[in-house]
């Protein structure tokens, strides 16, 4: 049973959530925001050993995530996925598993707190191999990874490869946000992992609700400029020359007519369409239609 005692910092966080909700409520419910958000959740023993308040850290984490899901429900095109990790990492659900707010809240609250060591490297690698390249990750969506951890990877569990793995994830175009939890959090370690500037991509658990603002910011940001295709076409020119000559009759009883004709046609070949991007959508130009006749 969850404790009814709520620390003042969580009350302040709830007030912040209400402010965000009011701001988002003014938006049309059909507002589009193609965003795929992956929550990577640390459930290692150190998360459970250093609670920040009377509410266990794990419950505070899943409660905060559920609140973010509810706040961003006005953007129906946001999708969520989750990876949980301790000594090993597990894909809890991918982007195409749940789309309804209630389903997502239940799914996040149902993630098992399995304890163990902290293998953040394995969790990020799992995202790189099983989430971002999967069909569930929509091609047109922006990608956001939210790493919720105390920033203390276990030395025996690939700790030395963490920096390289997070760099590989960022190279895929994924924005990395960090949420630092527990009283023993290594905030500096997490700041070194997140996208730059760190001041906009790292938050403490007490400020977890700011994540909704980050998602809102991504939804409000202008879409990348659409690909443009420039086509250059040379107009076809046809030239025809006809020459006719006739002799005058030499006598009334004899008529000789000689006609000589020469026709010369010249036609330039249309140049191939050139494009400024790697994508080109072909179409028939009038010149190409003429050539097919």
Mean pLDDT of the region 228-249: 44
Establish whether the linkage from the previous residue to 197 is cis, with ω within 30° of 0. Answer: yes
pLDDT at 47: 83
Highest mean pLDDT (candidates 172-186, 227-241, 268-282): 172-186
54-68, 112-126, 136-150, 276-290: lowest mean pLDDT where?
A: 276-290
Q: How confident is the model at residue 245 (pLDDT cuts 50, 70, 90)?
A: very low
pLDDT at 31: 58
Highest mean pLDDT (candidates 6-20, 51-65, 120-134, 214-228): 120-134
Longest alpha-carbon distance in the chain: 130
State how far the Cα of 8 lies from the Cα of 15, in Å rounded to an integer: 11
Q: How confident is the model at residue 205 (pLDDT cuts 50, 70, 90)?
A: confident
Answering whether pTM is above 0.85, one says no
Name residue, tokens 């107009």.
235
SS3 107: helix
Burial tier of 275 (Cβ tally within 10 Å: 0-12, 13-18, 19+): middle
DSSP state of 38: E
> Which residues is 80 bridged to in the sheet?
37
Alpha helices in 110-209 (DSSP H): 120-126, 162-170, 187-191
pLDDT at 69: 93
**For 133-139, which contacts have Cβ atoms below 8 Å and span 24 or more sequence positions?**
134/94, 134/95, 135/96, 136/79, 136/81, 136/94, 136/95, 136/96, 136/97, 137/36, 137/95, 138/34, 138/36, 138/79, 138/95
235 pLDDT higher than 90? no
pLDDT at 156: 78
Of 73, 38, 41, 79, whose CA–CA distance to 60 is shortest?
41
pLDDT at 206: 73
SS3 177: strand
> Which residues is 175 bridged to in the sheet?
144
Mean pLDDT of the region 46-57: 80
pLDDT at 70: 92
Structure tokens at 17: 């959530």
242 near 266, Cβ under 8 Å?
no
275 pLDDT higher than 50? no
Of 18, 138, 127, 24, whose CA–CA distance to 77 is shortest?
138
The pLDDT mean for the chain works out to 72
State how far the Cα of 114 lies from the Cα of 86, in Å rounded to an integer: 7
């Amino acid at each position: 049973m969850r404790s009814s005692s709520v620390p003042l910092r969580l009350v302040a966080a709830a007030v912040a959530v209400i402010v965000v909700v009011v701001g988002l409520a003014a938006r049309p419910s059909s507002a589009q925001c193609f965003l795929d958000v992956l929550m990577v959740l640390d459930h290692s023993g150190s998360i459970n050993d250093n609670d920040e308040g009377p509410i266990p850290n794990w419950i505070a984490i899943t409660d905060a995530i559920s609140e973010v899901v509810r706040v961003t429900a006005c953007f129906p095109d946001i999708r969520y996925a989750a990876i949980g990790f301790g000594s090993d990492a597990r894909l809890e659900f991918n982007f195409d598993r749940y789309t309804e707010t209630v389903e997502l809240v239940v799914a996040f609250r149902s993630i098992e707190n399995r304890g163990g060591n902290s293998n953040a490297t394995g969790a990020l690698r799992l995202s790189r191999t099983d989430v971002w390249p999967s069909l569930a990750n929509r091609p047109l969506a922006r990608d956001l990874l939210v790493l919720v951890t105390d920033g203390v990877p276990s030395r025996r569990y690939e700790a030395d490869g963490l920096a390289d793995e997070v760099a590989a994830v960022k190279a895929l175009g994924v924005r990395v946000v960090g949420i630092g939890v527990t009283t023993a959090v290594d905030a500096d370690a997490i700041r070194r992992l997140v996208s730059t500037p760190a001041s906009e991509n790292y938050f403490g658990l007490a400020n977890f609700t700011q994540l909704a603002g980050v998602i809102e910011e991504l939804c409000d940001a202008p879409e990348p400029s659409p690909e443009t295709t420039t086509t250059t076409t040379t107009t076809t020119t046809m030239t025809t020359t006809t020459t006719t000559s006739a002799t005058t009759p030499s006598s009334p009883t004899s008529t000789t007519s000689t006609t000589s004709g020469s026709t010369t046609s010249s036609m330039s070949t249309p140049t191939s369409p050139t494009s400024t991007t790697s994508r080109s959508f072909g179409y028939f130009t009038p010149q190409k239609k003429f050539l097919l006749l």
